[in-house]
Amino acid sequence: MIKRFICAIKGVSKVALLALIAIGLTACTTNETAPTHNYGVVTSGDFDFMRHGVVTYSWHPESEQVYLSEKYDKTVVTDLVREAIKERLSLKGYQLKSGAGDVVVGFGLAEESELNDESIFDAIQLSTGVPFYSDDGKVSEKGSLYIAFFVPNSEVIQWQALAQSGIQPDLEPSESKQRVMGFVEMLFRRVPER
């Protein structure tokens, strides 16, 4: 009698264990959905060179390289990015200098149809490798923002970043400004404060 009871308990335990495993596996199975990305960022270098004695910055003479189609006002977009960089560096305690600053900052902008990822990689050796999709699942055109920091009188890049995102051409000017400010803030989060 006791043997039958023990065998019955073992049988129930095995069934219960199998049921729990099946439930657990069922809960783990989900439909795979393609990951969506709002942006891709890759950086190289660091800001250690800015920790001591760097309080001013100036623009690189070849800064503001812009590869945009006729759909965009290059001056407006360039001004937007330049102002975002100035504002973020100012908040960190750095001052723009008209002559040579303690650090030299350069930036560039590109629309994928005007400058593709391969060309960008050939020029700066950075690639996010991230595709972007519209709300309806179609591949979206990328916009790229490149920022680089140099020490004066040197072409050696101390820090550089490439940020890419799907272009959203129908944004209001205030939304575009907020978007650019968000990217620059994210990229500069490790810039030392003065």
Q: What is the pLDDT of residue 129?
A: 84
Report pLDDT digits (tens) over 78-115: 999 999 999 999 999 999 999 889 999 999 999 999 99
Q: What is the pLDDT of residue 169?
A: 78
Report pLDDT digits (tens) over 14-65: 444 333 344 443 444 445 544 444 789 999 999 999 998 999 999 999 899 9
| Residue the block writes with tokens 């439930």 | 23
| Burial environment of residue 69 by CB neighbours within 10 A (0 to 12, 13 to 18, 19 or more) | exposed
Q: DSSP assignment of 79-100, as one string?
A: HHHHHHHHHHHHHTT-EE-SS-
Helical H segments across 41-135, by residue range:
74-91, 117-124
175 pLDDT higher than 70: yes
Neighbours of 72 (CB within 10 A): 17
Q: Which residue has the higher pLDDT, 11 or 163?
A: 163
